[in-house]
Amino acid sequence: MSKVRPDKVATVKEVKNRVGSTSTAVVTEYRGLTVAEISTLRRNLRVLGADFKVYKNSLVRRAISGTEVESLTEYLEGPTAIAFIDGDLSAVAKALRDFAKDSPKLIVKGGVADGKALSFKDLVSLADLPSRDVLLAQFAGLLASPLRTMAGLLKAVPQNFAYGLSALIDSKGGPAAPAADQVEAAETPAGVEEAAPAASDDAAAPVAEVAAEEEAPVADADAETTEAPLEDAASEPAE
């Protein structure tokens, strides 16, 4: 009985570990690609969260038997390289499609996403989708749009009420004019009393009395001065 080679055991264990960490993968055929091209593609996919590696088909079949990615078995024909994906599937599919345009020897066969089989057409459709970050941004925009609409409606309610109230007042002939007493009260500062008339009435009497007192002695003095000499002259005998 032949013993299993340690390298084969290691490969099967590696594939099982990869299947245990992710159930999303894409199978490609790399026949005719150079080592440099495969290395370049591996680096491009690693940035997107995908581990691209060449495996022997018989070992992969053994490793994925009974797992969620067992549907990959139908694509395990010819020189096979598998990309196990932890990142954005659509971004990886787009990178594989773009690389295949420049290097037609790379053939994308099919894959699996979360245990669901994907055909070549499915992968092409995924490649045409926006990236995960763009989709999340668009989804966030869709969620925020109703909130912005609601905020606009709430803001418009008091504005529309004010416009309607203004229109109603205008239709009734405008705001009522204030009464005359209200206008007079508004024009007169608070706390100021109309003291001028009262002060003039009260001050008139003392002024008149002072004037009378000042004029009276003058009249009496004149009378005494003019009348006394006349009386004395009349009483003296004529010579």
* 238 C-beta neighbours (distance < 10 Å), count: 3
How confident is the model over 162-221, as pLDDT tens digits? 666 676 677 766 565 555 555 455 555 555 444 444 444 554 455 445 444 555 444 444
As a whole number, the mean pLDDT across the chain is 75
- Strands 80-85 and 50-55: what pairing? antiparallel
| DSSP-derived pairing of the beta strands 25-29 and 107-113 | antiparallel
Pair 61, 32: CB distance under 8 Å: no
Alpha helices of the chain — where are they, by DSSP H?
6-21, 35-47, 57-64, 89-102, 120-128, 132-171, 180-187, 196-235
pLDDT digits (tens, 9 = 90+) for 80-113: 999 999 988 999 999 999 999 999 999 999 999 9
Give the Å distances, CA to CA, from 85 to 18, 45, 61, 92, 140.
9, 9, 18, 8, 25
Higher pLDDT, 11 or 229: 11
157/22: higher pLDDT: 22
Domains observed in the chain: 6-129 (3.30.70.1730)
Please state the rounded mean pLDDT for residues 109-126: 92
Higher local confidence (pLDDT), 235 or 109: 109
Q: Report which of residues 234 and 51 the model is more confident about.
A: 51
| 177 vs 119, residue with greater confidence | 119
With a cut of 70, say whether residue 8 has pLDDT above it.
Answer: yes
What distance in Å separates the CA atoms of residue 57 and residue 75, rounded to the nearest whole number?
A: 9
What's the whole-model pTM score? 0.55
Find all residues with CB under 8 Å of 27, minimum gap 6, and list them.
Answer: 72, 75, 76, 80, 81, 82, 108, 109, 110, 111
Please give the average per-residue pLDDT across 10-28, as a whole number: 92
**Under 8 Å between Cβ of 91 and 48:** yes
Residue 4: band (very low, low, confident or very high) from pLDDT cuts 50, 70, 90: low
